[in-house]
Amino acid sequence: MAVVLNFLKVKRLILFVCFLFFSTNSFSQNLKFNKIIDLKAPWGSSFLNEDEIIITEKSGKIKIININSKEVSVIEHNLNFLEHGQGGLLDILYKNNKLWISYTENRENRKTSTSIAKAYFNKKKLIFKNIFQANPPIESGYHFGSRLAIKDNYLFASVGERGEGMIAQDASKHPGSIIRIHLDGNIPKDNPKFEGKSEWLPEIFQIGIRNPQGLTVSPFDGKIYISNHGAKGGDWFGEVKKGENYGWKILGWGGKNYSGIPIGPKWKPGFTKAIQYWVPSIATSAITIYKGQEFSEWNGHALITSLKEQSLRKLIFDDLSNVKQEIIFKNKIGRIRDIQIHPKTGKIFFLSEDGLWLMEKN
């Protein structure tokens, strides 16, 4: 009897694995991938218009790419950046003839910070002025974050904890937090510091985050969503919530230290609970909430990119008690750093480690 039961369990498992493989594989076969241009370690991107996209390369270049003609132009800039480990030029965001950029700023004696600067757009030379510096500067090449998102007159930014662990629980320091400032760098008067959390730095909106490389505003509900790298496991996707704490490094989100030692519980009351966790780690990167024509059946769904797994995953999360997940593709374009939706067609553009890619229906 036990042998029969075990056989049935194995049979069900095989059928389930086959279902996952063929459903994912068949979807991938309905997609077409086209490499627009080769790039060197690109990091962030933003559409300027329907034809042009501006991108950063970690090593320090800012480029404009015409997605039709494939013409590339390099823009001079005045940023005092340092390419160090995971740091360099990071995210870039364009709106109303202005640019915001997050980058690794060279502060003092190889101490660096995740900083944000703003410039008026110019195709020849960009004169940036800092509007935020994460303090204290730290000598580390790890966990800078960092993504930018604009909602109304607010700029949201994710700041990594620089490999310092429990610094993410210290709201008198910026590393390991979500920042909210006005578009000119001024501090909103309704940030948590001014509403009962007097010990918090005035720019901090939420704490307890490790290495957040995805941040986006939903065009449907107006909420801010984030993705975060765990350690050895414990990646997650969740909502940014004012004055709350995601728990790093009290919580491990299901992951372990790279030494194999457990970090802490996946979640416990008093901390923000993520919408979706991944154990083992998929190395979550950029995210977006899809809105467009090309994949209109995905409208309102979260798209999650990954580095280690080299995948695009789709989450249906309107019912938080029953989040549905689908792997759209794996191992097609390499490690995925960024994702953008074309403002008119809804076709999807990715930055991989070596170029700009277009994904559309076959």
Beta bridge partners of 100: 93, 118
Dump pLDDT digits (tens) for 171-225.
999 999 999 999 999 999 999 999 999 999 999 999 999 999 999 999 999 999 9
Residue 362 to residue 164: CA distance in whole angstroms: 45
Q: Does residue 4 surpass a pLDDT of 50?
A: no
Q: Please report the pLDDT score of residue 12 as a whole number.
A: 54
Residue 93 to residue 109: CA distance in whole angstroms: 29
Dump pLDDT digits (tens) for 53-101.
999 999 999 999 999 999 999 999 999 999 999 999 999 999 999 999 9
Provide the pLDDT confidence category of residue 108 given band limits of 50, 70 and 90: confident
Q: Please report the pLDDT score of residue 142 as a whole number.
A: 96
Region of poorest pLDDT, from 36-40, 57-61, 230-234: 230-234
53's CB contacts (< 8 A; 6+ apart) are 45, 46, 47, 64, 65, 67, 340, 349, 356
Averaged pLDDT, 258-264: 90
Q: Does residue 28 surpass a pLDDT of 80?
A: no
Residue 141 to residue 277: CA distance in whole angstroms: 26
Nearest in space to 205 (alpha carbons), one of 174, 163, 160, 237: 174
Q: Say which residue the tokens 């979807």 belong to.
A: 27
Provide the pLDDT confidence category of residue 3 given band limits of 50, 70 and 90: very low
What domain count does the chain have? Answer: 1
Label residues 143-164 b or e (16+ Cβ within 10 Å = b).
bbbbbbbbeeebbbbbbbbbbb
Dump pLDDT digits (tens) for 116-157.
999 999 999 999 999 999 999 999 999 999 999 999 999 999
Q: Does residue 285 surpass a pLDDT of 60?
A: yes
Task: Provide the CATH number for the domain around residue 314.
Answer: 2.120.10.30
The dihedral sign for the CA sequence 316, 277, 174, 242: positive
Nearest in space to 286 (alpha carbons), one of 93, 179, 155, 146: 146
- Pull the structure tokens for residue 144: 């800078």
Q: Say which residue the tokens 């070596």 belong to.
A: 354
For residue 204, what are the domain limits?
2-361
**Identity of the amino acid at 143:** H
Residue 117 to residue 137: CA distance in whole angstroms: 16
Provide the pLDDT confidence category of residue 110 given band limits of 50, 70 and 90: confident
Q: Please report the pLDDT score of residue 9 as a whole number.
A: 52
Residue 16 CB coordination number (10 Å) = 10
- Pull the structure tokens for residue 304: 């999650």
CA angle 144, 140, 212 (to 5 degrees): 20
Contact 39, 354 (CB under 8 A): yes
Mean residue pLDDT of the chain comes to: 93
Dump pLDDT digits (tens) for 44-56.
999 999 999 999 9
Q: Report percent pLDDT > 90 for the chain.
A: 90
15's CB contacts (< 8 A; 6+ apart) are none
Averaged pLDDT, 99-111: 95
Residue 359 to residue 220: CA distance in whole angstroms: 23
> Residue 29: enclosing H or E segment and its boundaries?
helix 2-29
Q: Does residue 344 surpass a pLDDT of 80?
A: yes
Nearest in space to 303 (alpha carbons), one of 313, 311, 293: 313
Q: Does residue 22 surpass a pLDDT of 70?
A: no
Averaged pLDDT, 318-347: 97
Residue 63 to residue 46: CA distance in whole angstroms: 11
Averaged pLDDT, 311-331: 97
